[in-house]
Amino acid sequence: MNHTETRYLEAKRSLDDRSRSPRVRERLLSALPSEPRILDVGCGTGTMVPGLLEWGIDTGTYRGVDGDAGVIDFARDVRPAELRRAGHGVTVCDRGFSVEDLSVTYETGDALGTLERAEDVDLIVAQAFADLVSISELLAGVESALAPGGLAYLPITFDGGTIFQPDHPVDEEVEAAYHAAIDAEPGRDVHAGRHLADASRRADGDLLAMAASDWVLRPRDGIYPADEAYFLDAILGFVQTALSDGTVAEGDDWLAARRQQLADGRLTYIAHQYDLLYRGPDS
Ligand SMILES: C[S@@+](CC[C@H](N)C(=O)[O-])C[C@H]1O[C@@H](n2cnc3c(N)ncnc32)[C@H](O)[C@@H]1O
């Protein structure tokens, strides 16, 4: 199991929980059928299941798919026990587990291939995922997998804002280099949020709701909540990789200053993102 990846995904959970838009979630809940068939692509450590239960979605089926076998093993191990501790009735079976009347499976697989083969899905979830793959392929996969009038919920979709505080003289150069490195990776799109919104507008279905869901990661009295200091250190690691070709002359100074501010409980990080809710065509 890749401990670094699972800890990173678990560490972002507290941030996701406070950042998702209540308005988009309410719109989703008002449009969802009573026993939804749910497909979560790029499900990571499967944190969406406790979230769905918290929102009252406790019947139907949930299928989580991720390309990383380590995070899927982690989800299978950790989620049933967590849900039991939270007071839910959980029954483990061969293919996964049932919690209340929701049947849950986690599996390893490619998200786009899974969407291509899936059909009659009432709700596709793709959290913090749309910036990792081609938007047009994702939307085509979503449309082919959805039941008529089915929903796609894409919260925490990155949209190209990376802010650190306090100010540093080369912040703009660092942000530009970081975003350029993301955009250079095949299929990735630093402005996935706005591009997904525009592609949805041109598609056959409707963009039902969209709202900002920026991560605001900040210390309180010098202390970061939950495991968010670890998460912020991982983000600095991503920026370090992006700066490794030396395009920003003062990149090393910037990183050293940010790491010191993190250690001192003085560093704030903001990522600009959107939650989107799309409804596929009725037929
Ligand atoms: C940023 S994480 C988000 C995970 C989860 N949705 C969450 O919000 O905690 C993106 C996840 O997508 C997975 N992933 C990336 N590309 C994928 C693909 N083509 N097929 C399936 N999973 C993929 C990664 O392994 C990772 O777990």
DSSP notation for 158-192: EEEEEEEES--TTHHHHHHHHHHHHHHSTT--TTH
Q: What pLDDT, on the 0 to 100 scale, is given for residue 194?
A: 98
Confidence of residue 109 (pLDDT cuts 50, 70, 90): very high
Nearest-CA residue for atom 3 of ligand 1:
128
Q: Which CATH superfamily is domain 3-159+188-215+272-279 in?
A: Vaccinia Virus protein VP39 (3.40.50.150)
Does ligand 1 come within 6 angstroms of the Cβ of 208?
no
Question: What mean pLDDT comes out for the span 173-182?
Answer: 98
Query: Residue 39 forms beta bridges with which residues?
Result: 63, 124
Q: What pLDDT, on the 0 to 100 scale, is given for residue 234?
A: 97
Pocket test for ligand 1, best of 15, 127, 129, 158 (most atoms within 8 A of CB): 129
Does ligand 1 come within 6 angstroms of the Cβ of 43?
yes
* Cα–Cα–Cα angle for 240, 274, 146, rounded to 5 degrees: 115
Pocket test for ligand 1, best of 132, 190, 235 (most atoms within 8 A of CB): 132
Pocket test for ligand 1, best of 15, 49, 52, 66 (most atoms within 8 A of CB): 66
pLDDT digits (tens, 9 = 90+) for 257-269: 999 999 999 999 9
Report CA-CA distances (Å) from 277 to 31, 85, 135, 155, 249: 10, 31, 15, 8, 41
Q: What pLDDT, on the 0 to 100 scale, is given for residue 28?
A: 98
The pair of structure tokens assigned to 6 is 């699972």
CA–CA dist 79, 102 (Å, integer): 13
pLDDT at 1 over 50: no
The pair of structure tokens assigned to 91 is 């029954």
- Please provide residue 235's backbone torsions phi and psi, each rounded to the nearest 5 degrees: -60, -45
**C-alpha 6 to ligand 1 mean position (Å):** 11
Question: What mean pLDDT comes out for the span 171-187?
Answer: 97
**C-alpha 79 to ligand 1 mean position (Å):** 17
**C-alpha 34 to ligand 1 mean position (Å):** 27
Q: What pLDDT, on the 0 to 100 scale, is given for residue 283?
A: 81
User: Residues near 237 by Cβ (< 8 Å), separated by ≥ 6?
Assistant: none
What is the helix (H) or strand (E) element at residue 58, kind and residue range? none
Does ligand 1 come within 6 angstroms of the Cβ of 15?
no
Buried b (16+ CB within 10 A) or exposed e, 132-171: bbebeebbbbbbebbbeebbbbbbbbbbbbbebeeebebb
Q: Which atom of ligand 1 is nearest to the CA of 43?
A: 6
Does ligand 1 come within 6 angstroms of the Cβ of 128?
yes
Does ligand 1 come within 6 angstroms of the Cβ of 155?
no
For residue 140, the one-letter residue type is A
**C-alpha 168 to ligand 1 mean position (Å):** 32
CA–CA dist 67, 176 (Å, integer): 29
The pair of structure tokens assigned to 117 is 């083969």
Which residue in the block uniquely carries the two structure tokens 């993301």? 182
Q: What pLDDT, on the 0 to 100 scale, is given for residue 98?
A: 97
Contact between 280 and 205 (Cβ < 8 Å): yes
CA–CA dist 78, 243 (Å, integer): 35
What is the helix (H) or strand (E) element at residue 33, kind and residue range? none
pLDDT at 243 over 80: yes
CA–CA dist 272, 15 (Å, integer): 13
Contact between 68 and 2 (Cβ < 8 Å): yes
User: Residues near 58 by Cβ (< 8 Å), separated by ≥ 6?
Assistant: 52, 99, 100, 101, 102
**C-alpha 202 to ligand 1 mean position (Å):** 26
Does ligand 1 come within 6 angstroms of the Cβ of 67?
yes
**C-alpha 42 to ligand 1 mean position (Å):** 3
Buried b (16+ CB within 10 A) or exposed e, 213-222: bbbebebeee
Q: What pLDDT, on the 0 to 100 scale, is given for residue 2?
A: 61
